């Protein structure tokens, strides 16, 4: 199940951490943080394909 969420989003405003797939990544960049609505930049979403969650 690791291939489903290759990216980790951390909100710069509310510090919420969310694992996102590519579709969710684009949605976040377009619509902002799902928790607080802050504007999101590509740098706020990190590719974690090489790292293990937790």
Q: Which stretch binds Zn ion (CB under 5 A): 2-10, 17-25, 32-40, 43-51?
A: 32-40
**CB atoms < 10 A from the CB of 26, how many?**
12
Examine residue 38 and tell whether it contacts Zn ion (CB under 5 A): yes
**HEC profile for 19-51?**
EECHHHHHHHHHHCCCCCCCCCCHHHEEECCCC
Q: How many residues bind Zn ion (CB under 5 A)?
A: 7
| Nearest-approach distance from CB 42 to Zn ion, in angstroms | 16
Where along the sequence are the contacts to Zn ion (CB under 5 A)? 11, 13-14, 33, 35-36, 38
């Amino acid at each position: 199940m690791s291939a489903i969420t290759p990216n980790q989003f951390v909100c710069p405003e509310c510090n919420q951490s969310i694992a996102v797939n590519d579709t969710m990544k684009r949605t976040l960049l377009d619509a902002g943080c799902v928790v607080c609505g802050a504007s999101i930049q590509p740098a706020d979403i990190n590719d974690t394909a090489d790292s293990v969650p937790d």
